[in-house]
Amino acid sequence: MAHLKRITEERLAELLQPGTSPESIDKRTEIAILNYLGRTPSYFANQFSTPENWKMISNISNDFPLLHGTLLSAEIDELRTKEENCRQRIVKLDDQVQALLDLSDQHEETINNLNARIDRILKEMIFEDAERAQGITEPLTALANCFEIQDIIRKKIDMNIDLTKVELDFVKNNLK
């Protein structure tokens, strides 16, 4: 590459001084800098192989992005693809989480509705039982078959309804 301008260390130092405007560096100078960095023992030379350095020089000459066609460019493209895939997966997961939260809210509402219905049914059955229990000491069989006795007792206490003898005996026997 005889057409490449050789750059001296002094000229390189001058170009890299703070305050040097990027506009003052032309293509030929950029190519000379890359050539210099590629042939001297430096961090740059350790990071980029000679073919990659020549590819960058060719890219500058052809007005392509500096890293176009280099291994680093391929790695960057691969990372960008992985990043985009991760973003898409995150969006899908977020949608799935939202759908599960919506289902959870629906199930919670359904459970609350069922509990309210059970509560209403229990109250109705207790009222019926209380009306029929005038002098009867046993709880209504249908009520006892549908609910645990402790649930019936709790609800009757909440509703200020007298307990039957069987219910009172249960309370006495199960107090802790």
CA dihedral (76, 77, 78, 79) positive or negative: positive
Q: How many CA atoms does the CB half-sphere of 88 hold within 13 Å?
A: 6
Tell me what pLDDT residue 161 has.
81
Regions of the chain with pLDDT less than 70: 1-9, 11-13, 15-16, 20-24, 127-145, 176
Choose among 167, 168, 173: nearest CA to 147: 167
Nearest to 156 by CA among 146, 141, 168, 174: 168
Q: What is the C-alpha separation between 10 and 18, in angstroms, rounded?
A: 15
Q: pTM for this structure?
A: 0.40
Contact between 163 and 171 under an 8 Å Cβ cutoff? The reply is: yes
